[in-house]
Amino acid sequence: MNRLWQLRIPLGAVKLFITHLHSDHTVGIPDLWLTGALPVPYGGRTAPFRVWGPAGTASMMANLEKAYEADIRIRGTSLNTAIEAKDFTEGVVYQANGVQVTAFKVNHDDIDAYGFRVDYQGRSVLLSGDTGPSENLVAHARGVDVVVHEVGVFAPTSENGRQAVAHLHSTPEQAGEEFSKIRPKLAVYSHFSLFGTPEPTMDEAISRTRTTYQGPLEIGEDLMAISIGDSVAVQRIR
């Protein structure tokens, strides 16, 4: 939430699309929802909090309303804490003001998990979500400008890490193979899962990716801005 406001994006303006219901992808929702309802510059929500996600999302959000029932009552009716949550399946899940969001199934063990493709004015970004190698992801990435992809890296001595990556994530080599098929203007790593001691580095991830992909590649970091036009420009805020 702090990072959003550093970019002067009010929390109340945010619409939420959830890839899957693992805790590391959902624990920040109450903060976004309730702080976004405050009548302050960094909040300011005037309409219901809109949320889209896989099966179970609407139920989770309804139970959050129950969990924070006392807080909502104490704050009073002046705040817009209403929620509009929808469960989706694969396909176009949002279309408004020229923006189209398409959800597609990915491989993340046995949980119902999705990635997203966002199209706007002839430009496009694909977000992998958490996934192992996925032909469905590659198919939905056809012609995309930027691919933001997760990566899992394990130390050779970490058997637990090896198993976790095998069932849940993509190795650098596997992600690189997908980048080579997609051929985006830019590939970006995000959601780094690093297993073992000593912890693998992102330099190692890049080096291993280069065995299967030679195109443009960046390590994602907080507050990075990516501008997409005929070319792609990256700005890092230090």
Alpha-carbon distance 46 to 41, whole Å?
Answer: 12
Report the alpha-carbon angle 112-116-118, nearest 5. Answer: 160
Residue-level pLDDT at 222: 94
146-154 and 114-120: which strand pairing? unpaired
Q: Which among 83, 76, 2 is positioned nearest to 42, based on CA atoms?
A: 2
% of the chain surpassing 70 pLDDT: 99
Q: Which residue has the higher pLDDT, 76 or 112?
A: 112
Q: What pTM, to 2 d.p., does this model score?
A: 0.94
Task: Give the residue-averaged pLDDT of 107-126.
Answer: 97
Task: Please state, rounded to an integer, the average pLDDT across all residues of the chain.
Answer: 96
| H or E element at residue 173 | helix 172-182
Residue-level pLDDT at 75: 82
Kindly indicate the confidence band of residue 237, based on its pLDDT and cuts at 50, 70 and 90: confident
Q: Which among 79, 10, 14 is positioned nearest to 49, based on CA atoms?
A: 14
Task: Give the residue-averaged pLDDT of 35-56.
Answer: 96
Kindly indicate the confidence band of residue 54, based on its pLDDT and cuts at 50, 70 and 90: very high
Is the pLDDT confidence value at 77 over 90?
A: no
Residue-level pLDDT at 197: 92
Is the pLDDT confidence value at 238 over 80?
A: no
Is the pLDDT confidence value at 43 over 90?
A: yes
| H or E element at residue 138 | helix 135-140
Place of tokens 């193979």: 177
Residue-level pLDDT at 82: 94
Q: Which among 233, 213, 131 is positioned nearest to 205, based on CA atoms?
A: 213
Q: Which domains are present in the chain?
A: 1-88 (no CATH), 90-238 (3.60.15.10)
CB 205 within 8 A of CB 192: yes
Alpha-carbon distance 237 to 160, whole Å?
Answer: 35
The 3-state DSSP class for residue 166 equals helix
Residue-level pLDDT at 20: 98
Pull the structure tokens for residue 136: 């469905």
146-154 and 123-127: which strand pairing? parallel
Cα-trace Rg, the chain: 19
